[in-house]
Amino acid sequence: MLLNILIGLGVAFFGFVLQTSIGGINRKIVGRLQKRYGPKWYQEFLDIFKLLSKRATSHGWIFDFGVIMALGGIIATAMFMPITNNIVAFAGYDNFFIFVYLIAVGMLGMAMSASGSGNPFASIGVMRALTTMLAYEVPFMIIVLTIIKLTGFSSLTEIGLFQQASGNNWFLIALPLGGIVGILSLMGMLGKKPFETYIAPAEIASGPMVEYGGKQLGMLFIMHEITVFIEVSLFVHLFLGGAENIFIFLIKYFLTYTTLNLISNVNGRLKIDQVVKFYYKWPLLMAVTQAIIAIYFGWVI
């Protein structure tokens, strides 16, 4: 059991390092796209360590407790995440629903802490984040329902193995409409443009993050990096056939994140009600169509 916990902690730490580096590389890529040099690839590490070493202000115990709960919840979620078919801390228990719902504990902690700061911008940011969540989660869950129904497993490793078996395609290809929905929902989850309404730096001063500084902000940065790791890995395992070994995982992960980042950089920002309308129009329609085709008619490529 102790070994499993250590592996899990290792996965969480790996996720943090991986996402922070890839995030840095992506800043460079975006910089080049905009004809700038961009920061060094390890700039994000420097930012986080600088923040962690600074003395900050606190708005009361719930402000601190929320941050601890947020980071704790996200670390716990990451500990369940499989990286390859074999590297998984708690084999057999990497149930899809754990990721969707345990991640919510972390989100709740952050929302609590942000509202506890007493800044209205933070509350508006939380409101927008929750509304966005209501928008992207339902189409995504319908597609995952289809995948679980087709494979008969809700364990991420098993879903990955199912796609690797000969004769089966990746679900991105096997369920083309569902793949599009998956990508759109992932963009919503990551808060990429055009769905970055809840951060909106120029509009509501970074939303939930507005009051933070020092170690609290540093911990929330770590939490954010691990959250992105969980969400992108979820996509890799559900739609891109999991990973036989760590190199394949790294390639799939890097390509997924970079592609999304590039798409996001040529988009503007939607208003929050437009986000909701968008997700309940096309992605939901596509998800339901895909689910009906795949489950009731059995047409899977």
Partner 1 sequence: MASIEILILILVASSIVSYFLTKFNSFAGSVLTIFSTMFVFVSLAYYGFNDALVTTVNLLPGFTFEFTYLGAYFAIIVAFVYSMVSFFHPYFVDHYKYKNAYNMLFLLSLAGVLGAFFTDSFLQLFFFFELIVWTTMFLIPLGKSKSAAVSYFGFSAAGSFAMLFGILVMFREVGSFDITAGLASLSGTNAVLVFVSFLIAGFAKLGVFPLHIWLPIAHGNAPHPFSPVLSGALVKLGAFVAVLALIRISPASTVITAISLPYAHYIIALLGAVSIVFGTLMAIREDDAKKLLAYSSMSHGGYIIVAFSLLDSVAFAGGFYHILAHALASAGAFMAIAAVARQTGTTKMSEMGGIIHKMPITYIVYLVAIISMAGIPPMGGFISKWLIFQAVIDKGLIFIAIAVFFGSIGSFLYVFRPLAALFLGQEFPQFKKIKEAPILMLIPMIIITLLNIYTGVLPNGILGFINKIIIELGFAPLIINSPALTISGNNGLLFPALIAGVFGFGVVVAFVIFILLKKSRQVGLMDTYTAANFIHTEELLHYSVDFYAPLERLYEKYTTKMTDFYDGLANKVKELGKLAKYLFMSKYVEVAIFWIVAILAFLLWGEL
User: Which x/- pattern over 128-147 shows residues binding partner 1 (rule: CB under 8 A)?
Assistant: x-xx-xx--xx--xx--x--
Report the alpha-carbon distance of residue 299 to residue 293 in Å, rounded. Answer: 6
Near partner 1 by CB under 8 A: residue from 64, 248, 258, 270: 64
Residue 242 is given by DSSP the state: -
Could you give the string, one character per residue 82-121, with x where binding to partner 1 holds by CB under 8 A and - elsewhere? --------x-xx-xxxx--xx-xx-xx--xx--xxxxxxx
Surface-to-core class of residue 296, CB atoms within 10 Å of its CB (0-12 exposed, 13-18 middle, 19+ buried): exposed
Stretch that binds partner 1, among 22-30, 71-79, 166-174, 257-265 (CB under 8 A): 71-79
How far apart are CB 173 and partner 1 at their closest, in Å? 21
**Candidate ranges 36-44, 170-178, 209-217, 253-261; the one touching partner 1 (CB under 8 A):** 209-217
Closest CB to partner 1 among 176 and 214?
214
DSSP 8-state symbol, 294 = I
| Cα–Cα separations (whole angstroms), residue 232 to 36, 185, 245 | 27, 11, 17
Q: For the chain, how many residues are written?
A: 301
Bridge partners, residue 155, by sequence: 95
Asked if 49 touches partner 1 (CB under 8 A), the answer is: no
Number of residues in contact with partner 1 under rule CB under 8 A: 90
Alpha carbon distances (Å) from 197 to 103, 104, 244: 20, 19, 36
Among 41, 45, 153, 254, binds partner 1 (CB under 8 A): 153
Among 74, 87, 172, 174, binds partner 1 (CB under 8 A): 74
Q: Which residues contact 31 (CB under 8 A, 6 or more apart)?
A: 37, 38, 39
CB of 191 to partner 1, least distance (A): 16
Using the minimum distance from each CB to partner 1, give the nearer residue, 26 or 160: 160
